[in-house]
Structure 1
Amino acid sequence: MSCVILSYDNALSLSHLLPTLSDTLTECGYPWEVIVVNAGSDDATNQLLRGWSEIPGFWTVPLSTDAGQAMALAVGLAAARGDAVILLDAKLHYAPSLLAQMIMQWENGAELVYAVRNAAGELTELAGWDAATVDRMMNAADSMNLPQGSTDLALMDRRVVKFLLA
């Protein structure tokens, strides 16, 4: 299980997220890694990540500048080695306990699981696409877009990651 976190000046958020994430992933029972793509942060993010990178399972992929979310995402997905990849928002706009629910949906056949917010910005549900839905999306287009209202919290099966990186 790989977790990819895109970060730019998120030292404070990461200082809360990383310990919680470590505990949550350990409870899920899969071998895991956490990859933080640090896109040229100017705050204390670099110092924080140096310490976390010394702990097994945590590592950082530095980008020299804020290359944009699409580039940071591609770099993070390419670095991830797990059978599934969880994309996380460094600002912790959700309960980390949702990760266990996402993993359960993946174990039950969902190849893409994502969080959905309502018009007020509240997290309302987790939605999942099974293999047949993913196949239709892959065959219909050169890219795959999440539905309106989805957030920066998603789990993708390795097959989806390979498609996105192709």
Structure 2
Amino acid sequence: MTPVKPLISIVVPVFNEEANILPFYDAVCAETGKLEDLYRFEFVFTDNHSSDQTFPLLRDLAARDSRVHAYRFSRNFGFQRSIMTGYTRARGDAAIQLDVDLQDPPELIATFLQEWQQGADVVYGVRIKRQESWLLNLQRIIFYRLIDRLSEEKIPVDAGDFRLISRRIIDLLKSFEDAQPYLRGTIATMGFKQVGIPYSRNARLRGESKFPFSKLVSLALDGILNHSVVPLRLSTYFGLIISVITLISIIGYTSAKLIFRSQWPAGFATLAALSLASISINAMLLGIIGEYLGRMYQQLKKQPLTIIEDVAGVAEGDNLSLTSTVTNSLSGN
């Protein structure tokens, strides 16, 4: 009896990427075609409610290739949720997440699979070189190291979402109930055997990046707040330091007044500045607490991780069950 070849799921989140769909499909098929003697492949596209021809192109691909499965969301739920939904739809023995812009080279698929066959549950790409602006490179360098410094567990630096995860990791992710997932950190802190593969990231040739500075900041906040309580501790320490300085100032002022009979001129500007500084500090500390409380609120609401509006290349029975899974993914049902 011929043994069944392992199924590998290629998970691809997309949003307004009509110019990249076909080049990506051709490039990945060229690489996976070299491995068809060893593996079977499927494509799992998650479309974050694109406003261009992205989903019609995916529908055409699904009609031509039965390995292609595409899910269109009812609105834009964000990049991390899109990846998470792709993982929950993946049927493979392992899943490889690839960006459709081809900045992460499909040529590394074979290397990732080799490490997986040797026992690794997670194989991730480590970006040693990027063909991006120096400012964006600097922002990413600071971000990754800040996350690693603040996190209570080790998170690889310069590693993005280009990774392979085993079926064991996929099944564990399905059990998580995270309203605002940060998959880089979540997967990194799971443990098991994890291997980093260095590579040079390509430049984007078609379309525009979907990660402006504001979204990078939002991603940074998700990473920090999802994997660290250090900001809360810093708030406590900062409050204690301010309290000690205030106490010392009161003692010093009282001593000078009683012992040395010092006369202090009225200082309206100084008092106003100190009052404004105090208000600013309190607002900052309350903002940090509010970020954590906001995430707790979102978690307790138990809303769907994503909502699927349309599908392509998915059997009717699979469609119904998968939609139910999406709707209840945060409630544990």
What TM bracket, shorter-length normalisation?
0.7 to 0.9
Tell me the TM-score normalised to structure 1 length: 0.80
Q: 1: distance between equivalents of 2:174 and 2:156? A: 19
1:37 partner amino acid: T
Is residue 2:123 matched to residue 1:113?
Answer: yes
Matched, 1:21 2:28: yes
| Bigger radius of gyration | 2
The 1-side partners of 2:49 and 2:19 are apart by: 16
Q: Would you say how many aligned residue pairs link Structure 1 and Structure 2?
A: 145
Question: RMSD of aligned C-alpha atoms?
Answer: 1.9
Q: Structure 2 vs 1, CA of residues 8 and 154 (structure 1 numbering), >3 Å: closer, same or farther?
A: same
User: For structure 2, which runs of at least 5 residues remain unmatched after alignment?
Assistant: 1-7, 132-151, 176-333
TM-score (norm 2): 0.41
- In structure 1, list runs of 5 or more residues that go unmatched: 123-140
Aligned to 1:5: 12
Query: Could you tell me how far 1:165 is from its partner in structure 2?
Result: 1.7
Runs of 4+ in 1 over 2 A off after TM superposition: none
Cα distance, 1:9–1:83 mapped onto 2, change above 3 Å: same
Tell me what 2:61 maps to: 52
Secondary structure in 1 matching 2:34: helix
| Residue 152 (structure 2) pairs with residue 150 (structure 1) | no
CA drift at 1:26? 2.7
Q: Deviations over 1:59-104 (max 9, x none)?
A: 1011111101222122111110000000111111032111111111
Using the TM superposition, give the Cα deviation of residue 146 of structure 1 relative to its aligned residue in structure 2, in angstroms.
5.1
| Seq. identity, % | 26
Displacement of 1:151 after TM fit? 2.0
Residue in structure 2 matched with residue 131 of structure 1 by the alignment: none
- Aligned equivalents of 2:55 and 2:71: distance in 1? 11
Higher percent of residues as strand: 1
Partner Cα distance (1:74, 1:101) in 2: 23
Higher helix share: 2
Q: 1:148 Cα deviation (Å)?
A: 2.0
Taking CA–CA contacts closer than 8 Å with sequence separation of 6 or more, which of the two structures ends up with the larger relative contact order? 1
Q: State which of 31, 48, 52 in structure 2 corresponds to 1:39.
A: 48
